[in-house]
Every structure is written in C-alpha cells, then in structure tokens.
Structure 1
C-alpha cells in the first residue's frame, strides 16, 4: 500500500505504503432515572478530579446485568449525570440505564445503574459523567463476557483511590522518549491521573494532550499544513493525493478539531490540485519515542465505507529510516494500520465498518507496535520497528487511487489526541 511521504527539503518522504489513520469513541445515549433519553454525544477522556474506587457488573434474578461503581472526587464537583457506559467488541454502544445527576465529594459515592440484557459477546465498560453539556469517560476500562444476559467473566474490580490501572502489566520496560528540544507536550494528567489509553494494559502517565476545547488551533502544539511556512498552502504528502493542504481548512470549534476537504482548485509549485483539505502536524513542537498514542476521530462516510483518505499517523525526520507508524488510515474505505521502515511496510485492516466516531490507538514499544480500535486489539507488528523520535500527524486527504469513495465537502473531526508513556 502506498505511503504518504513526498520529498520535502530532503526529509519526510513517504511513498504510499504505510499510512494509517484513526477514529474515535462515541458514548451514545444513556437513560435517565426518569426514563428520558439524554444524548451522550462525544465522550472525552476526563481531566476532572474524579477517581473510580471500584467498578463491577452483576447479574439480576431475571438474567439481566447491572453495574455498580464507587467514586469520589478530590474536590467537590456537581455533575449533570453519572453513568456506566458499555461497548461491544465492534464498538457498539450498550450503555447501562439509569444515568442520574450527582454531587461528588471526597467521601465515596456508590452508584448502581439500572439493569439491561446484553447480546452474547465481550464488552468493555467504564464510568462516564456529564458536565457543561459534554460527556467524559473515566478509567479504568473493565470488561465482561456474556452468553446473552448474565456476565460470565467480569474483569477485576480495582480498589485504588489514585490511578487504577488495567490488570495486565506491560511485560517490557519502555525507554523514556526523547522529545525534540522545541517540543512542548502539555502534561494535563500525571502519574496519579485516572486517565489511561483505552484497552492498553500497563501503568501510564500522560505526556501530550489536546482536547480541542478552545476556539482556535494551539500553535504551541500544531502546524496547520504539511511542513510549510505559516499560512502557506502546501502540496500533498503523497503523489497519489488530489488535495493541497491549506490552513483555511483547519479549525477548532465545538470541542473538536475540524479538517475539511472541499472542491476548490489550488496551485502549489506549478501543480494545480482540484481539492484543498486540512492537515495538522507537530513537527518541531512535540515528538516521542515509544508510548501509547490515541485519538478519537470522526470519519465521513460513503455508505458503510470511510470516505476519502483520512489518517492518524506519526513520522520521523528521515523517512523511511526513522520509521512511520500508521495508527489508522482509510484505505479503500476500510480502517487500516501499518508500520513503515527500511524493512518494509507490514500491516492490515480491521474488519467491519469504521465510519463515524471511533477511538484509534497504538502502543509503540521496543520491537513491537500493537494497534487498538475502540479499545480492542486489532493487530500487532513485530518486524522493522524503529526507535527514532516521531511527530504526530492528522489529515483528511482525497485520493481516488488509495482512499475510499471521494466525497466533498467532508469534515474529519478529532475529539482529542493523547500520548502516554510509562
């Protein structure tokens, strides 16, 4: 498969062979105690002072399931709703009913959901809450398996009052990454935070976080084109693309980053492209060696296929020597992942439809990269894994050769981008 690097001042060449892009997680709807539905639109990772002390599921006499959690806050906070959300292996929303308003304090509060039936399968579940009209999720993310009603293998119930972490530790210690001298990753969470990558085992500390809650792109973290001057429209990353990258197609509003693709001709270095679209990258501002990388992304759809060629990926300063990690890219309408290096570009595509909101993550460790979509492992690569620092890239490319069906205007939205390390 093609890569997305063209020569740019003798660096970052990315032939179309490896390129993957990511999506995000949708919290769906939760049922209020009074029976009314509340739209739990986009569930962001939490930065509020709320800690999950315990979380479990149990069967009711009629064979349905209910969830019980005990939480406390490091300072008093009033939430519009407290709930327990559940996700199927395919990313479907199966939230427990009974979301209700709550005032949390330093004293533990126990919340028990309503009960419901679950189709047979394996599910992840987590505590979520609503503040100022937005939904947020808390760690840990536990799991259970049901044969069609009652849970047969619920995951462990953490009892720590500070950063509960998944039960399986990462077997190989991960070296501390080496960010560039100009990198300014924002540590909005620390080793004591309950925030953690979705589905990735181990104990983590957050080293980069942008939840796009402002009114404009954070220039301390991102550049709004492909390695070009400020305000410039730049050529595509890959020769198979039909769109130039313009800062005019990058915006932040409604808690999301918007990368839009529109039909509008643009001429760059003597070549005219029929489309312009949005791209952001963190070169010169934040780069990392090893860690867990995650973004929640909305990919426009054409039927059940991902439209265009949206992607979430990382790249080093010398392609392919330094490597390229494609966390998710919409290749031919599917969500795919790869890792490019001088040894090649192995990877694969996840089964099912990944249009709309999904969460895409990758754990890059010495000798391996493991990929997680909606908290479920979808692939692992153990050959050609490099160790040079890489920076972050998100873009909404248009390509009739490599992407899915061309559809414009199209808005690729990003709820958050985060990086964690051990």
Structure 2
C-alpha cells in the first residue's frame, strides 16, 4: 500500500506551516476559515436522522447499513502500523462491538508488529488502536447520480487523538479520497473536511491549503453523538453535520476542479483512530491521552 490516504493528505499542507505556533486547531492544521467554515454551526447533541422521511422524499434509497449489533463481517480489519508518522499499531483487539456500538479504543501499550501491512518488518509501537475498511465499495454513477454516506459517531477526546471517517481506494490518490471528518481530540468543537485526487500514485494534484475546511460547532463533538455526512455527486461534495449543510465543495470553483475526477471511482468507507502523526504540529508525546471513538451506525443512500 502507498501513502496512507487520510494522513498523507494532511502531510501535504501541514509541512508547509510547521513554523506556526501550536496554540489552536487552525495553527495546528494550517486550515484557513472560509466563509462557510467560519460560522459557528449549531450541532445537536445526540442527533439522529429521520431515515423514513429521507427515503419518503423519493430522493434516496438505502443500499448499505451496519448498526453494529453482531460483528464486523462487513469490514476488513487493518493489522499493522500506518503511515505519516502515526504512533499506533492497528489490531483487532482494539475493536469491540458492544451494546449496538462499534468502539475503537486507542491504548498506551508497547507492542511489536509489522511496520505497515505491506511491510512485515517488525517495529516497536507505544500505542495501539483500531481501523476498519468496508468490504463494499461505493461511487456515484450514471445509474444513481449521488451517494450519501452517513455515520453517527461520538468522537474521542484527549490530546493526540486523530479520529477519522473517510473513503478512499488504492492506489492512492488515483481513485480519490473523501474526508468526511478528521479531528483532533484536544479540540472537541472542531473538525475538518477535505478530499484528494491525483492521476499518479502517491502524487495528489489537489491543493489541501485551498480545499480543507474547518468546521466549528457550539456543541461538543466528544460528549455526545452527532451525524456526519457527505453527499457525493459528479460536480460537488456536500458535507452535513446533524442534518444541516455545513460545507460545500463545488467543481465550479478552480480549487475544486478535480471533483469530477472522482466520479465513477469506487471507494471504501474507513473508520479509525490514529495517535499522533503529521496531522499535528509540535506534538508533545508526554501529553497524549488515549480515548475511544463510538460509532452507532453507518448508512449509505443512493
């Protein structure tokens, strides 16, 4: 596997601003607040979608669902280290299905394992965590012009936590990547949206400094559940928080001209909690506080 799709994209712009003081999420990520992201969005604590109303509108049909009531048979489990200077080793024991929830727990523990799944060379890790990727792939096509990917999640708190809900496929970024949410545990009211594309492996053509958007809620994202969504069409990526549109990336703007290149390219859904890595600037390992991400459900509509 080439560069990790979540964090490799972050590296593209973080390294450009490493001299910025690390006193806020903006300085940590280098994200500029655009007109949409600058407004504080009113998330709704423990929000859930009205699925019947959504389908009744006639615009959507549910094509995938996992309520995490039994096991992880719909998912592939990542075993091994990751990329982008992340500190964790991914293993199945950090993934639990209990009480109708998927729990992905980061832990401070020392283990030895494969550097990455494609490289069996042993490496020592000081943290462990979990990552899953759907066995089913999704993309808008001529038959159904949009895909709505949704998840109800309670994010982990704690310094150094890097939870993510995203889609991608290999070889990265030739099939594209859509970041529905990336967050830092020490900032419980903020997260970013993004996407990546490149015609050659490991070389993104998208400019992360222009298309990464910072989303701010006045309701904590770590103390209760929220619904994060993206509506993926040929010409746009529309992001929603608790049923409200909070960010739209349109191919009509020069910075987003690569969105149509994602159309028809199959991507799989990924959920993970990384520890540290290139999404952070001036990370202080002594302050890392592991925590867990809770996922209530995943649903896909077309």
Displacement after TM superposition at 1:307 (Å): 5.8
Q: Map of 1:18-417 to 2, 5 A cutoff?
A: 18=10, 90-92=42-44, 137-140=50-53, 163-165=55-57, 203-214=59-70, 216-217=71-72, 219=73, 221-225=74-78, 233-236=79-82, 238-267=83-112, 268=114, 269-282=121-134, 285-290=135-140, 291-302=147-158, 308-331=161-184, 333=187, 334-342=190-198, 343-344=205-206, 345=208, 346-352=211-217, 353-356=220-223, 357-382=225-250, 383=256, 384-385=258-259, 386-387=262-263, 388-399=265-276, 401-402=278-279, 406-408=288-290, 410-417=291-298
Q: Which stretches of structure 1, 4 residues or longer, exceed 6 Å deviation after superposition?
A: none
Q: Structure 2 CA distance, aligned partners of 1:362 and 1:89? A: 16
Unpaired segments ≥5 residues, structure 1: 1-7, 20-87, 95-124, 129-135, 142-162, 166-201, 226-232
Q: Structure 1 CA distance, aligned partners of 2:215 and 2:80? A: 31
The structure whose RCO (Cα within 8 Å, separation 6+) is larger is 2
Secondary structure, in 3 states, of the residue corresponding to 2:227? strand
Q: Structure 2 CA distance, aligned partners of 1:273 and 1:248? A: 15
Displacement after TM superposition at 1:240 (Å): 2.6
Equivalent pair of 1:298/1:414 in contact (CA under 8 Å):
yes
Q: Structure 2 CA distance, aligned partners of 1:351 and 1:320? A: 27
Q: What is the TM-score of this pair, normalised by structure 2?
A: 0.69
- Deviation track 1:28-66 (CA, whole Å, cap 9, x = no partner) reads xxxxxxxxxxxxxxxxxxxxxxxxxxxxxxxxxxxxxxx
Secondary structure, in 3 states, of the residue corresponding to 2:273? strand
Displacement after TM superposition at 1:395 (Å): 0.2
Q: What is the TM-score of this pair, normalised by structure 1?
A: 0.50
Unpaired segments ≥5 residues, structure 2: 12-39, 115-120, 141-146, 199-204, 251-255
Q: Structure 2 CA distance, aligned partners of 1:340 and 1:277? A: 25
Are the structure 2 counterparts of residues 396 and 12 from structure 1 closer, same or farther at C-alpha, using a change threshold of 3 Å?
A: closer
If you compute each CA radius of gyration, which structure gives the higher value, 1 or 2? Answer: 1
Are the structure 2 counterparts of residues 208 and 278 from structure 1 closer, same or farther at C-alpha, using a change threshold of 3 Å?
A: same
Q: Structure 1 CA distance, aligned partners of 2:238 and 2:10? A: 15
Secondary structure, in 3 states, of the residue corresponding to 1:311? strand
Aligned length: 232
Secondary structure, in 3 states, of the residue corresponding to 2:104? strand
RMSD: 2.8
Could you say which structure has the higher helix fraction? 2
Are the structure 2 counterparts of residues 299 and 307 from structure 1 closer, same or farther at C-alpha, using a change threshold of 3 Å?
A: farther
Equivalent pair of 2:10/2:279 in contact (CA under 8 Å):
no
